[in-house]
Amino acid sequence: MVFLYITEQGAMLKKSGQRLMVEKDGAMLLDIPASKIEGVLIFGNVQFTTQAVQLLFQHGIEMALFTSHGKLLGQLTSPLTKNITLRQAQYARYSDADFILSLARSIVRAKMANSLEFVREFSHNHPDTDLAEETSDLAHHCSRIDSQGDLSALLGLEGAGARAYFHAFAKMVRHSFVFTGRRRHPSPDPVNALLSLGYTLMYNEISSLLDGLGFDPFLGFYHQPHYGHATLASDLMEEFRTPLIDRFTLNMINNRIFQEEDFYYHTASRSIYLKEEPRKRYFLEYEGFITRPMISHESSSDIDFRKLFRQQAERLKHTIVTGEAYCPYTFHW
């Protein structure tokens, strides 16, 4: 099963029988059975027929629409049977302050632990880079998680941990790229642009997964409800930010897969974006990274990040239904 990224401006997504086709100016760009597709992501000026959408719905395939720069606009979802029992449990848990704080601590603990592990991994492989102060700061913040008595305090601690982590991340960026810290909107440099694009793709995929499993993606626990934002997806993606997106981004930069000339400055948004051809290369690299088999520390069998998303969503379901402690994904190198 693959994710289909359509970035060719002026292209058309159509169907023929049980197959999806992408055409432009009379030329066939892609012809693939719908049964082999897990999701469709459309960027910018790409058209699609109602027949193609109907075929996606028949196969339970979600389609997400993005601007050409990678900003998520919305999703089209098939009306599959929803797990009302799970949603009832989710709504009930939202009124349980102790449950929310316990889950939030687990989320932040995993996020910080994964950040610390990544910094330690880099420091081990690059002893010439001094990350001792950042490592110490992150370890200190990790040790204080259980002492935070409410979400506000936990958010403050997470913010302090994030500042220490991205200070380390700046030292980990090689070559001529400049990164002075995490900036979201707008992205002032190529590193932030790659991070934002990766986080957006992961957010879209996890949000679709949660919806398909019967959750209400818009009712988070650590991330409180916010209009138009799938806060439960934001909850679940925290444990994957560093091991997936941050590692992928650093790999793309430090191995010179992307260079400064692959980006451009968009005057209207005052932001940096990937150019069209490098963006296509990005999606190929991203799919390779997210589906690359790896050995989980919990199992001797091969697993990839896409399977981990589902594994953790199922664990979250179990936690919501039973009230048992949530076991987040922790990264080990």
Q: What's the pLDDT tens digit per position in 198-254? A: 999 999 999 999 998 899 999 999 999 888 899 999 999 999 999 999 999 999 999
Q: Which residues pair with 170 in a beta bridge?
A: none
Where are the chain's structural domains?
2-76, 84-322
Q: Give the strand pairing for 37-43 and 62-66.
A: parallel
pLDDT of residue 41: 95
Q: Look at the alpha carbons of 333, 135, 250, 162 in this order and tell me if their dihedral is positive or negative.
A: positive
CATH of region 2-76, choose from 3.30.70.100, 3.40.640.10, 3.40.50.261, 3.100.10.20: 3.100.10.20
Q: Which parts of 59-216 fold into alpha helices (H)?
A: 84-94, 97-125, 132-143, 151-172, 190-213
Q: Is the pLDDT of residue 297 over 90?
A: no
8 A C-beta contact, residue 114 and residue 239: yes
Looking at per-residue pLDDT, the higher value among 76 and 40 belongs to 40
The model's pTM: 0.91
Whole-number Å distance between alpha carbons of 321 and 166: 35
- CATH topology match: 2-76 vs 84-322: no
Per-residue pLDDT band for 97 (boundaries 50, 70, 90) equals: very high
8 A C-beta contact, residue 124 and residue 164: no
Query: How many other CB atoms are found less than 10 A from the CB of residue 213?
Result: 16
Domain 84-322 in this protein, CATH class: mainly alpha
pLDDT digits (tens, 9 = 90+) for 80-94: 556 789 999 999 999
Q: Which parts of 173-331 fold into alpha helices (H)?
A: 190-213, 231-237, 247-254, 276-290, 305-322
Q: Residue 33: what are its φ and ψ, rounded to 5°?
A: -65, 140
Whole-number Å distance between alpha carbons of 209 and 212: 5
CB-based contacts of 172, cutoff 8 Å, min separation 6: 119, 122, 126, 129, 131, 250, 254
